[in-house]
Amino acid sequence: MKKWILATSVALALLGCANEASTPALPQGVSFIEAVAVKDGQVGIPYKKYRLANGLTLILHRDDSDPLVHVDVTYHVGSAREVAGRSGFAHLFEHMMFQGSEHVADEQHFKLVTEAGGNLNGTTNNDRTNYFETVPSNQLEKMLWLESDRMGFLLPALTEKKFEVQRETVKNERAQRIDNRPYGRMDEKFNQALYPLGHPYSWPVIGWPADLDRATVDDVKQFFQRWYGPNNATLTIGGDFDEAQALAWVDKYFAAIPSGPAVSAVAKSLMTLDKTRYLSMEDKVHLPLIRLGFPTVYARHADEPALDLLANIIGGGKTSLIYKDLVKDGYAVQAGVSHPCQELACLFSVYALANPAKGGQLAEIEARIRDAIAEFELRGVTDADLEKAKVQFEADTIFGLQSVSGKVSTLALNQTLAGNPNMIAADLARYASVTKEDVMRVFEQYIKDKPSVVMSVVPEGMGQLVAHQDNFQAQLLPAVADTATPIRVESVIPEDVDRNKVPLPGAAPLLKVPTLWQDKLANGIAVLGTRSQETPTVELVIYLDGGHRLVPVAKAGLAGLTAAMLNESSRSHSAEELAQALEMLGSHLSFGASDYQSYIKVSSLSEHLDQTLALLNEHLFTPAFDAADFERLKQQQLQSLEHLKSDANYLANQAFSRLLYGEQSPLGVSSSGTLASVASLTLEDVKAFYAEQYTAGNSQMVVVADLPQAEVMSKLAGFAAWQGKASPLPPLAPLPEPHAGTVYLVDKPGAAQSVIKLGKLALPYDATGEYFRAYLMNYPLGGAFNSRINLNLREDKGYSYGARSDFSGGSELGQFSASSSVRSDVTAPALSELIKELKRYHDSGLTDSELAFMRSSISQGQALDYETPYQKAGFMRMIQRYRLPADFTARQAKIIAGISKDELNRLANNLLDINQMVIVVVGDRASIEAELSALGYQVKLLAL
């Protein structure tokens, strides 16, 4: 720890003289605030900060490692700025801000960003709303034009129709993410009990449905004028750009936007509860859930770090007391503790998913949680506890700097909530300074014997499982009458700025495909690597051909269960001891399995790679295969399968795969297995699969590190003694006859939404063949936000929160699918529209403008493909797995540039015949079956 604390101190000292950095000449009205530099070996984000005369804060972070820029506009407005009866406005505005502005046509924002090869989104929480785009670096001016137009010129384009469509979209989002999701309504009910009546965190960010129904266009316009001025915003630009040019563009497009009304800080106060509040709800779930919450402080309070470390010690991972007392003993399938902080409040939160096999009584689970808390008080804080939590915080901070978007988001959030982008070194210092006495003090002050909120969520009809009889009843305040809000002055366009003209991009940046190296261990294991020196980290992934595909259908779930066992104890150490050793290094290690491979993922700080690999070797080569671990993990997997039955998307995917591939094929059965297959598994099955799967002959490695090739290979030399041949895949079962012309209905009684999925068998993966061309063909249909099916179902009809289609392929088989979650009451019309779009595309193909859009979007988007270590690792894995030539991306670029509309249309005609497609609908049979039948399809009930 001394080394880390010293480095933090040096970083803090460095920042004292950082303002001496040079700055470009400033446009009139732009003021320089500060410059922060970070020397090699220190943790931080270099940036320059400016402010415009209208109050807009500008932060610039230069990073030329990849030819891209990330633009973020964060407004200091979230649901906490709303008032009772008018909830959901901030989130609704997140949607409205993508619907065009005075000089940007309807749906043009998405089109322009996607066509430029970028991606975009917006998010809203209690405290802020942000909008962001990542694009090739030559597109920066266009992004600033777009963002400035919706900041200064949104209202002239805000129509009643747009408002109604986006209100329906928000309702669909709520139905998908809350009403139709297991435990989806828990948070909003829990928060009503935790926060005082009328507290701005007491209502959901997405809003109460009644408030959304009551809202008018004028309400929304007034909310925009109050909160979306430049003086309440931070514009952050990160990536490869010229600073002087960026300053000139920001001045050109943003300076004329007038300030909004003054914004004052929201008052902060510590919350307390007068007594423990119990509440409960029944839901369409299998696993009873209990959640305890203790109100603590607020973000950046002096006690926040000690409370974070306390949460880590009591309930963070396998070394925690909560894990030992609940999960290890099998009383809970999952359990954990966290201390999330927001601007106005933090929460010490404990949760546990009870194991029905142990009775599922939440009163007993609550007692065990409180016993674990009492055990902590008796045991106290050890030196190892403190060091582990601090090292993890440092490592997580470093891993968070691996992408430009991550760094920009950090700068923007710190500026918005703390008024200072430069908080990383200060945060490291304040966590490093926490003592054992600090942790015990905050435990005594905020947790010990303090009232809490205790919420039980139990399966329908099983109210006897709740922890305690309810003693709290939520209330809603009456809607607050709106008050007059100062109206912003209209933006005035300077004479030398033509806002009707879309800025042209600069010269296309050079694509920086990672420079790869190939090598082999002495036993023949292939290693594919690249050097990335942006952070002192190593990402290693070991892939083993086989996975679920290697397993007989009768033993489905075995690959995943075996991987889970390898995450447990070794012959020399317990799982808890191994987890403790990893945590003390700030490293992450996990075994997993998917359809065609098992895998091992390792993340490590470079300086700790040797110790991390030693722990990997112990897990991999000397597993204990303990009988008690096996029984616990098997029980967890069974309970997880029961839980998944309440997930409509899982049900749709399972039904679709069964119909496409058949029940006798491993591709037709979930890699998680079935209740019958998992129940039949034995510890001997695990040992046998381990011997078959985890061999050198099945293995390949991908590594992204800041170390040179020779050093990486020397550190991997311990794997050269690994032996064993490759395991051949068993033959696939014959494919079933197509089930076309029928709607297969999976009943989910009371579902707020229906999940629609339709498609057919298609092509196996091919990087430069017909499969790749099919991907290009599908892009305008359902591969982008402004694709045909998404614009139809979401933007035009308001039926869905989103719709998409794609081709997916492996080494043997592939499929085409189109899917959407839609409001239950429009299931049949939504299916009809989806089928119409597929038929139209099959018959007539794409247009010239869609062809141009596809070419521009996909070709320019390659600039974003290799930024983070895991993106690089994924790119290398594709080369390795499918034995692709080193220049395959250049070949793809040539195909994109040269493919004709006629060829793409022939593919659409060959591959998108609706009469060959399987149709699956998961929803409330009682309310949707008759209308589905009226479409002319035979409706068959499918049981899973």
Q: How far is CA 433 from the centre of its chain?
A: 31
Q: Are the C-beta atoms of residues 128 and 115 closer than 8 Å to each other? A: no
Pick the closest to residue 234 from 94, 443, 356, 59 (CA basis).
Answer: 59
Which residue is it, tokens 């629609």? 756
Residue 409 near residue 403, CB atoms below 8 Å: no
pLDDT for the residue 8 = 33
Residue 494 lies in a domain: no
pLDDT at 483: 55
Write phi, then psi, for 10 (nearest 5 degrees): -60, -40
pLDDT one-digit tens code per residue, 134-170: 999 999 999 999 999 999 999 898 889 888 888 888 8
Pairing of strands 233-239, 57-62: parallel
SS3 for 775? Answer: helix
Q: Is the pLDDT of residue 921 over 60?
A: yes
Same domain membership, residue 315 and residue 241: no
Whether 363 is in a domain gets the answer yes
Cβ contact 788:834 at 8 Å? no
| pLDDT higher than 90, residue 279 | yes
Q: Which is more confident, 476 or 777?
A: 777
DSSP string, 671-723: TT--HHHHHT--HHHHHHHHHHHSSGGGEEEEEEESS-HHHHHHHGGGGGG--
Confidence of residue 13 (pLDDT cuts 50, 70, 90): very low
Which phi and psi angles does 186 have, rounded to 5°?
-65, -50
Instruction: Assess whether 641 and 771 both reside in one domain.
Output: no
How confident is the model over 312-321, as pLDDT tens digits?
999 988 989 9
Q: What is the DSSP letter of 901?
A: H
**The pair of three-digit structure tokens given for residue 19, joined into one six-digit string:** 């303002």
Q: Amino acid identity, residue 689?
A: F
Q: What local confidence, expressed as pLDDT, does residue 93 receive?
A: 82
Instruction: Give Cα separations from 841 to 73, 149, 778, 779 (angstroms).
Output: 37, 34, 9, 12
The model scores a pTM over 0.95: no
Q: Are residues 860 and 716 in the same domain?
A: no
Q: How far apart are alpha carbons 388 and 311 in whole angstroms? A: 12
Judgement on whether residues 698 and 785 belong to the same structural domain of the protein: no
Question: Does the structure show a pLDDT above 70 at 56?
Answer: yes
Integer Cα distance of 115 and 787 in angstroms: 12
What's the mean pLDDT when you consider all of the chain? 91
Whether 698 and 800 share a structural domain = no
Of the listed ranges 18-27, 308-317, 627-636, the least confidently predicted one is 18-27
| DSSP assignment of 195-262 | SPTT-TTSS-TT--HHHHHH--HHHHHHHHHHH-SGGGEEEEEEES--HHHHHHHHHHHHTTSPP-S-
CB atoms within 10 A of CB 22: 7
Give the Å distances, CA to CA, from 847 to 118, 772, 840, 889, 911.
Answer: 22, 19, 12, 25, 18
Burial degree of 536 (CB within 10 A; 0-12, 13-18, 19+): middle
Supply the pLDDT for residue 456: 98
Could you tell me which residue, 533 or 588, shows the higher pLDDT? 588
Q: Confirm whether 888 is domain-assigned.
A: yes
In a shared domain, residues 296 and 443:
yes
DSSP three-state, residue 27? coil
**Beta carbons within 10 angstroms of residue 717's beta carbon:** 11
Per-residue confidence (pLDDT) for residue 486, from 0 to 100 = 61
The C-alpha atoms of residue 191 and residue 361 are separated, in whole angstroms, by 23
Q: Could you give the percent of the chain with pLDDT greater than 90?
A: 75
* Cβ 500 vs Cβ 103: under 8 Å: yes
- Among the three residues 689, 721, 753, which one is the final residue of a domain in this structure? 721
Residue 482 lies in a domain: no
Whether 628 and 701 share a structural domain: yes
Distance (Å, rounded) from C-alpha 510 to C-alpha 556? 46
- DSSP symbols for 582-636: HHHHT-EEEEEE-SSEEEEEEEEEGGGHHHHHHHHHHHHHSB---HHHHHHHHHH
Q: What is the mean pLDDT of residues 461-478?
A: 93
pLDDT for res 398: 87
Could you report the per-residue pLDDT of 631-665, keeping only the tens digit for each?
999 999 999 999 999 899 999 999 999 999 999 99
Confidence bin at 821 (pLDDT 50/70/90): very high
Give domain status of residue 208, yes or no.
yes
* Region 490-516 average pLDDT: 83
Q: What is the pLDDT of residue 702?
A: 95
Model confidence over 572-591: pLDDT tens digits?
999 999 999 999 999 999 99
Return the amino acid letter for 191: N
629 and 747: one domain?
A: no
For residue 28, what pLDDT is reported? 87
Is the residue at 487 inside a domain?
no
Pick the closest to residue 529 from 609, 616, 537, 539 (CA basis): 539
pLDDT at 441 over 90: yes
**Rounded mean pLDDT, 809-823:** 95
Contact 324, 302 (CB under 8 A): no
Residues 6+ apart with CB under 8 A from 142: 112, 116, 135, 502, 503, 505
Say yes or no: 387 and 441 in one domain: yes
300's tokens:
């950046």
Give me the pLDDT at residue 20, please: 40
Confidence of residue 23 (pLDDT cuts 50, 70, 90): low
Structure tokens at 409: 């988001």
- Three-state SS for 50? strand
- The C-alpha atoms of residue 466 and residue 354 are separated, in whole angstroms, by 11
| Predicted local distance difference test score (pLDDT) of residue 655 | 96
Kindly give the interhelix angle for 424-432 and 383-399, rounded to the nearest 10 degrees. Answer: 170
Q: What percent of the chain has pLDDT over 70?
A: 97
Residue 52 φ then ψ, to 5°: -85, 165
Query: What's the pLDDT at 19?
Result: 39
* pLDDT tier, 263 (very low <50, low <70, confident <90, very high otherwise): very high
Q: Quick count: other Cβ atoms within 10 Å of Cβ 938?
A: 10
Lowest mean pLDDT among 301-305, 331-335, 511-515, 761-765: 511-515
User: What average pLDDT does range 113-130 have in this prediction?
Assistant: 93
Nearest Cα residue to 47 out of 231, 234, 232, 238: 238
Rounded to the nearest 10 degrees, what angle do helices 2-15 and 424-432 cross at?
A: 140
Q: What is the mean pLDDT of residues 666-676?
A: 95
- pLDDT at position 32 is 96
Residue 244 has a pLDDT of 95
What is the domain-level CATH number for residue 791? Answer: 3.30.830.10
Which stretch of 30-44, 446-460, 568-582 has the lowest confidence by average pLDDT? 30-44
Whether residues 550 and 683 fall in one domain: yes
pLDDT at site 14 = 30
Same domain, 754 and 831: yes
Residue 586: the pLDDT is 92
Of 151, 169, 94, the C-alpha closest to 124 is: 94
pLDDT (tens digit, 9 = 90+) per residue, 862-895? 777 777 787 888 888 888 999 998 789 889 999 9
Query: Based on the domain organization, do 249 and 283 belong to the same domain?
Result: no
Q: What is the pLDDT of residues 746-763, one digit of tens each?
A: 999 999 899 999 999 999
Name, in order, each residue with C-beta under 8 angstroms of 486's C-beta and a sequence gap of 6 or more: 225, 226, 260, 261
Look at residue 5 in the predicted model and tell me its pLDDT: 31
> What is the b/e burial string over 888-902, where b = at least 16 CB atoms within 10 angstroms of the residue's CB?
ebeebeebbeebebe
| Domain edge (last residue) among 219, 254, 289 | 254
Q: Does residue 728 belong to any structural domain of this protein? A: no
Assigned domain for 688 exists: yes
| Domain tally, the chain | 4
In the block, tokens 């490293």 appear at 587
Per the structure, the complete domain to which residue 385 belongs is given by 277-403+425-465
